[in-house]
Amino acid sequence: MSVLHESNLPSLKFLHRGKVRDLYEIDSEHLLIVQTDRLSAFDVILPTPIPGKGEVLTAVSNFWFKRLAPVIPNHLTDITPESVVLTEDERTQVRGRAFVTKKLKPLPIEAIVRGYLVGSGWKDYKKTGAVCGIELPAGLQEAQKLPQPLFTPSSKAAVGEHDENISFAHVQKLLGPAMAEQVKKATLALYTAAADYALTRGIIIADTKFEFGTDAAGKLYLIDEALTPDSSRFWPADQYQVGSNPPSFDKQFVRDWLEASGWNKQPPAPQVPADVLQKTAEKYREAQRLLGA
């Protein structure tokens, strides 16, 4: 399986290299987003890519963008990525792992939604009885389904820096009250629709992250990627039980290895062993298969 750590497309104007995606300008109205095989964990890019990961992310995102289009429009166009580059080498780099999108203005937050009490939310709850300042009933257990999904937004940090949880009041200051409410409503609606579908395919979506952008008229769009194993916590429904963190179809496997390695979560990240990379790649592909993407 081919591996793409970084794209190199001289026929387009390079704009930005993120944790996973490389961004190019096609023209004044369109962007090319290339999903590489890079993996980030704890906001640090790992030195070792996951073979085929970018193709899985692209297929899964395309599936969800299409399925969730009735909830909110997204940034995809019907232009094929291969048609906007010039050489065969460039076409090979973008085939199956890129989007041509509308050029929109990204909102400066990450829209995180939590349906289950796990990860940093569980740690927060054990200390404070709340998740990101949102009070919850006493006596909840790890991995328990929350009474209702929580909108827990975060700041959008630069590469190498850590995102930080922010309050809804802070979101209102950043976006304005009307747009903040619209983003919250869209986030919860997207999550609910996706989680309901995924459950029919044997997957629990414990939490996920969305990103949004606006056009010149201020219309809201879903952008970036959607509900992939990179941005979501997917659990096998048949192995779920309250009180323990189930094995997951996402990068939690490599996160667990990193935690056990003694790494201090500061760059540079350690080299990840081949067997851990392979197992992670298998989990991503299994999530894609189960979802029907």
Domain contains 8: no
- The answer to whether residue 29 scores a pLDDT higher than 80 is yes
Domain contains 285: no
- The answer to whether residue 205 scores a pLDDT higher than 80 is yes
Domain contains 202: yes
Question: pLDDT by residue (tens digit) across 39-81?
Answer: 998 889 999 999 999 999 999 999 999 999 999 999 999 999 9
Cα–Cα distances in angstroms (integers) from residue 90 to residues 12, 83, 154, 173, 290, in the given order:
10, 10, 35, 42, 31
Domain contains 2: no
Domain contains 68: yes
Amino acid identity of residue 152, one-letter, is T
- As a whole number, the mean pLDDT across the chain is 94
Q: Are residues 224 and 125 in the same domain?
A: yes
Alpha-carbon distance of 132 to 154, in angstroms, equals 10
CB 38 within 8 A of CB 49: yes
Q: How many residues does the chain have?
A: 293
3 state DSSP class of 252: helix
Question: pLDDT by residue (tens digit) across 91-104?
Answer: 999 999 999 999 99
Domain contains 276: no
Question: pLDDT by residue (tens digit) across 157-190?
Answer: 665 566 789 999 999 999 999 999 999 999 999 9
Q: Are residues 98 and 137 in the same domain?
A: no
Q: Which domain holds residue 235?
A: 106-261
